[in-house]
């Protein structure tokens, strides 16, 4: 997915009020949005942070919740309903093009020792 404004492929996921928004990490343009409620049954693990703003890395002390999205959904929804923006980061490693998920899992096991 590329940003229509700057062509960046760096995308961030933000939850604010009841919306789940993908935005460009480079220029901050909103790319697509859906209801956060549509995401509430996901088993995938995420880290939820107070949003530091597009293109910025969150600080460790900004961590709000961590775990399967369906387990932390309520906490995120409560914070986001006040208007605060919550940055969601996948706990799963990104798989580079041409690399298989099993290769990434093997690498992760090797790094853990």
Number of domains the chain is built from: 1
Which residue range is the domain that position 58 belongs to? 11-112
Instruction: Give per-residue pLDDT as tens, 46-96.
Output: 999 999 988 788 999 999 999 999 999 999 999 999 999 999 988 876 544
Query: Hey, what's the torsion of the CAs at 96, 112, 62, 18, to 10 degrees?
Result: 50
The C-alpha angle 106, 108, 111, rounded to 5 degrees, equals 110
- Residue 105 domain flag: yes
- Residue 108 domain flag: yes
pTM comes to 0.71
- Residue 48 domain flag: yes
Task: State the pairing for strand pair 63-68/11-16.
Answer: unpaired
- Residue 16 domain flag: yes
């Amino acid at each position: 997915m590329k940003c229509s404004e700057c062509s960046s492929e760096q995308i961030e996921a933000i939850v604010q009020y009841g919306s789940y928004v993908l935005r460009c990490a480079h220029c901050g343009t909103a790319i697509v949005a859906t209801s956060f409620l549509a995401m509430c049954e996901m088993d995938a693990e995420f880290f939820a942070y107070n949003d530091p703003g597009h293109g910025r890395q969150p600080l460790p002390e900004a961590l709000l919740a961590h775990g399967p999205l369906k387990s932390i959904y309520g906490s995120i929804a409560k914070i986001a309903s006040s208007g605060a923006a919550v940055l969601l980061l996948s706990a799963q490693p990104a798989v580079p093009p041409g690399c298989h998920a099993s290769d990434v899992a093997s690498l992760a096991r090797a790094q853990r020792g």
